[in-house]
């Protein structure tokens, strides 16, 4: 690109000089100039498309890596990252990143190369012009830094204010039904006008100053060009320099400043792009250490699963959540696990699922430590209703069937009936074909619980973990669901997590978790 810039100026000057002498410009020189122009076009297009492609590839790799990390190693990662925010950054971040790769990086290289080459070239044929360039060139970065420093904080604050104003508008529009309900929408319209006008006035005050840095850039470039032109003119009259050399230098002068100006223009957008990439890299690095994979198949005929002296420490808590817990769940029995919220009930569930490894002690499947077993194969034998089940995008039917791809239509219907979900589904206009999840119909908490229970019941499993499977249900429905669970799981080992003791009454044994310890309550419940 630098060479093309230089050659363009030289050939351009040659053609003018030949015309000046009254000679027709040679076809070769015109063809050469055209060829240089074509090369510049190809280079410009190439930078654009290659840079953008690079950004697409980089972001795609980053997000796939993040998804793999989440799904393979750290499904429980709790880094405070809002799923919607991360997903947006991982997809839309490509726009800023494209600016970085396609515009910022090439201009950065040009900004380092072009001025040097142009200066050296000019110094060789006309030291005076080179001196003007050398004096004016540093003005640009110096002023950019000076004015940039002075205004950046204020400018940023204004852009933040702009986004706040936009958020305020979203807030007001979102609250429109509330405003109407309270007869308050008319005053709000006036407030929208007022705050927008107020914002405009204060922002314009800031822009008046911060646009000065751009103006100084422009001014330096144009005044330097004018100065170079005038001094060249004077020395041409004296015969101190030739027309060709003078024209070449005149053409090169604006090129000297172009990359710097482009850099300044793309700076913020590309910084946003880099920030997006950084955010994802942080999340990839930050997720918890991977769970060991591979190992033997789970034992075919285990009689019980046990926690033996298990200790689990959460990074954000001073004391261990589980501190020497022993717990056994045998095939054919229902063990209820009770305890206050935060006692570590759900942590027990994640240990049994192999979603988390104990810091000390062992999770035993029959006579084998889960740490030595292929955890993916083990999970094939476990069904789970989490405390806050996720409804995936799709029909209710699909949401139930997703835990067993081989499930027959009858099995799904049976599970739906057992989970007492039949009734409310029948009352929906589209029944089990109703689309739920993000963007679909919202279900009440109790209805979601029942879909999740149906999902767990349809899964052929030896261990069933139910984390508050009746939350949001009234007593009558809860009792129906619990007795259906009892019937459906006669041959299986069941862990029933409940914070309300009265709903643990179907259990064969009740274990209470408190202060990191598990204590069995014999015959306390029924």
Looking only at residues 30 through 59 of this chain, which bind other proteins when binding is defined by CB under 8 A?
30, 33-34, 36-38, 40-53, 56-57
Q: Cα–Cα distance between 225 and 250 in angstroms, integer?
A: 7
Q: Judged by CB under 8 A, how many residues of this single chain contact other proteins? A: 155
Q: With respect to other proteins, which residue has the nearer C-beta, 149 or 159?
A: 159
Contact between residue 249 and residue 122 where contact means Cβ atoms under 8 Å apart: yes
As measured in angstroms, the least distance from the Cβ of 324 to other proteins is 25
Q: With respect to other proteins, which residue has the nearer C-beta, 177 or 300?
A: 177
Query: Phi, psi at residue 347, to the nearest 5°?
Result: -65, -35
Candidate segments 147-155, 228-236, 300-308, 358-366, binder of other proteins by CB under 8 A? 228-236
Residues 242-261 that bind other proteins (CB under 8 A): 242-243, 246-247, 250-251, 254
Does position 117 interact with other proteins (CB under 8 A)? The reply is no
As measured in angstroms, the least distance from the Cβ of 520 to other proteins is 26
Helix, strand, or coil (residue 514): strand
Q: Which of 22, 80, 300, 523 binds other proteins (CB under 8 A)?
A: 22
Residue 480 has which token pair?
A: 């129906």
Residue 494 has which token pair?
A: 């069941």
Task: Dihedral sign for Cα 62, 68, 70, 73, please.
Answer: negative
Does position 372 interact with other proteins (CB under 8 A)? The reply is no
Q: Which of 3, 135, 156, 193 binds other proteins (CB under 8 A)?
A: 193
Q: Which of 109, 125, 269, 428 binds other proteins (CB under 8 A)?
A: 428
Per-residue x/- marks for other proteins, 290-319, CB under 8 A? ------------------------------
221 contacts: CB under 8 Å, gap ≥ 6: 140, 254, 256, 257, 258, 261
According to DSSP, the β-strands at 493-497 and 368-369 are unpaired
Count CB atoms within 10 A of the CB of residue 31: 11
498 contacts: CB under 8 Å, gap ≥ 6: 336, 337, 338, 468, 470, 504
Q: With respect to other proteins, which residue has the nearer C-beta, 35 or 120?
A: 35
Contact between residue 118 and residue 6 where contact means Cβ atoms under 8 Å apart: yes
Candidate segments 111-119, 322-330, 380-388, 410-418, binder of other proteins by CB under 8 A? 380-388
Does position 150 interact with other proteins (CB under 8 A)? The reply is no
Contact between residue 361 and residue 307 where contact means Cβ atoms under 8 Å apart: yes
Does position 437 interact with other proteins (CB under 8 A)? The reply is yes
Residue 303 has which token pair?
A: 């009689």
As measured in angstroms, the least distance from the Cβ of 495 to other proteins is 13
Q: Which of 138, 233, 286, 460 binds other proteins (CB under 8 A)?
A: 233
Residue 29 has which token pair?
A: 């020189």
For residue 435, the cross-strand partners are 395
Does position 222 interact with other proteins (CB under 8 A)? The reply is yes
Q: How far is CA 133 from CA 109, 116, 118, 253, in A?
A: 19, 11, 9, 8
Q: How far is CA 135 from CA 57, 246, 397, 407, in A?
A: 42, 19, 74, 79
Q: With respect to other proteins, which residue has the nearer C-beta, 48 or 326?
A: 48
As measured in angstroms, the least distance from the Cβ of 497 to other proteins is 14
Q: How far is CA 224 from CA 132, 257, 509, in A?
A: 7, 10, 89
Does position 156 interact with other proteins (CB under 8 A)? The reply is no
Q: Cα–Cα distance between 526 and 517 in angstroms, integer?
A: 23
According to DSSP, the β-strands at 334-338 and 509-514 are parallel
Query: Phi, psi at residue 14, to the nearest 5°?
Result: -60, -45
Does position 180 interact with other proteins (CB under 8 A)? The reply is yes
Does position 3 interact with other proteins (CB under 8 A)? The reply is no
Q: With respect to other proteins, which residue has the nearer C-beta, 47 or 100?
A: 47
Per-residue x/- marks for other proteins, 455-474, CB under 8 A? ----x-----------xx-x
Residues 65-94 that bind other proteins (CB under 8 A): 67-68, 70-72, 75-77, 81, 83-84, 86-88, 90-92, 94
Q: With respect to other proteins, which residue has the nearer C-beta, 42 or 490?
A: 42
Residues 335-354 that bind other proteins (CB under 8 A): 350, 353
Q: Which of 2, 7, 16, 506 binds other proteins (CB under 8 A)?
A: 16
Candidate segments 300-308, 323-331, 364-372, 389-397, binder of other proteins by CB under 8 A? 389-397
As measured in angstroms, the least distance from the Cβ of 57 to other proteins is 7
Q: Which of 204, 292, 360, 514 binds other proteins (CB under 8 A)?
A: 204
Residues 178-191 as b/e (b if ≥16 CB within 10 A, e otherwise) read ebeeeeeeeeeeee
Query: Phi, psi at residue 307, to the nearest 5°?
Result: -100, 130
Per-residue x/- marks for other proteins, 478-507, CB under 8 A? ----------------------x-------
251 contacts: CB under 8 Å, gap ≥ 6: 8, 9, 12, 13
As measured in angstroms, the least distance from the Cβ of 330 to other proteins is 21
Contact between residue 36 and residue 11 where contact means Cβ atoms under 8 Å apart: yes
Residue 258 has which token pair?
A: 């172009």
| Of 105, 104, 102, 137, residue with least CA distance to 118 | 137
């Amino acid at each position: 690109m630098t060479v093309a810039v230089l050659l363009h100026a030289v050939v351009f000057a040659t053609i003018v000089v030949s015309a000046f002498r009254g000679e027709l410009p040679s076809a070769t020189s015109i063809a050469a100039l055209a060829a240089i122009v074509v090369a510049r076009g190809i280079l410009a297009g190439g930078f654009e498309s290659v840079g953008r492609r690079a950004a697409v590839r980089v972001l795609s790799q980053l997000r796939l890596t993040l998804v793999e990390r989440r799904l393979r190693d750290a499904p429980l990662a709790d880094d405070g990252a809002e799923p919607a925010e991360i997903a947006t950054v991982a997809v839309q971040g490509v726009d800023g990143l494209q600016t970085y790769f396609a515009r910022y990086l090439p201009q950065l290289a040009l900004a380092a190369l072009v001025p040097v080459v142009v200066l050296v070239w000019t110094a060789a044929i006309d030291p005076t012009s080179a001196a003007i360039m050398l004096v004016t060139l540093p003005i640009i970065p110096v002023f950019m830094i000076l004015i940039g420093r002075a205004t950046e904080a204020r400018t940023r604050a204004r852009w933040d204010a702009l986004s706040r104003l936009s958020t305020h508008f979203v807030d007001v529009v979102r609250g429109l039904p509330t405003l109407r309900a309270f007869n308050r929408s008319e005053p709000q319209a006036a407030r929208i006008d007022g705050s927008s006008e107020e914002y405009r006035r204060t922002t314009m005050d800031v822009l008046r100053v911060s646009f000065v840095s751009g103006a100084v850039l422009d001014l330096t470039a144009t005044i330097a060009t004018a100065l170079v032109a005038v001094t060249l003119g004077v020395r041409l009259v004296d015969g101190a320099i030739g027309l060709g050399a003078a024209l070449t230098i005149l053409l090169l002068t604006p090129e000297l400043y172009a990359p710097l100006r482009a850099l300044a223009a793309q700076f913020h957008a590309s910084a946003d792009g880099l920030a997006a990439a950084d955010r994802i890299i942080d999340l990839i690095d930050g997720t918890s250490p991977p769970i060991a994979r591979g190992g033997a198949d789970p034992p075919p005929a285990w009689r019980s699963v046990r926690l033996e002296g298990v200790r689990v420490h959460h990074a954000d808590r001073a004391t261990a959540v589980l501190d020497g817990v022993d717990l056994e769940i045998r095939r054919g029995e229902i063990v209820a696990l009770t305890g206050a919220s935060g006692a570590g009930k759900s942590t027990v569930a994640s240990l049994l699922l192999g979603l988390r490894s104990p810091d000390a002690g062992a999770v035993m499947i029959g006579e084998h430590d889960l740490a030595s077993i292929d955890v993916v194969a083990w999970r094939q034998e476990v069904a789970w209703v989490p405390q806050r089940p996720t409804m995936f995008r799709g029909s209710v039917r699909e949401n139930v069937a997703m835990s067993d791809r081989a499930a027959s239509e009858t099995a799904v219907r049976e599970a739906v009936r057992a989970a007492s979900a039949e009734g409310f589904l029948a009352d929906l206009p589209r029944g089990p074909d109703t689309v739920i999840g993000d963007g679909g119909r919202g279900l009440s908490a109790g209805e979601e619980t029942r879909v999740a229970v149906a999902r767990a019941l349809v899964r052929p499993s030896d261990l069933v973990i139910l984390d508050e499977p009746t939350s949001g249900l009234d007593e009558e429905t809860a009792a129906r669901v619990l007795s259906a669970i009892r019937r459906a799981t006669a041959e299986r080992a069941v862990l029933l997590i409940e914070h309300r003791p009265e709903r643990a009454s179907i259990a064969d044994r009740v274990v209470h978790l408190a202060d990191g310890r598990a204590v069995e309550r014999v015959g306390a419940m029924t």
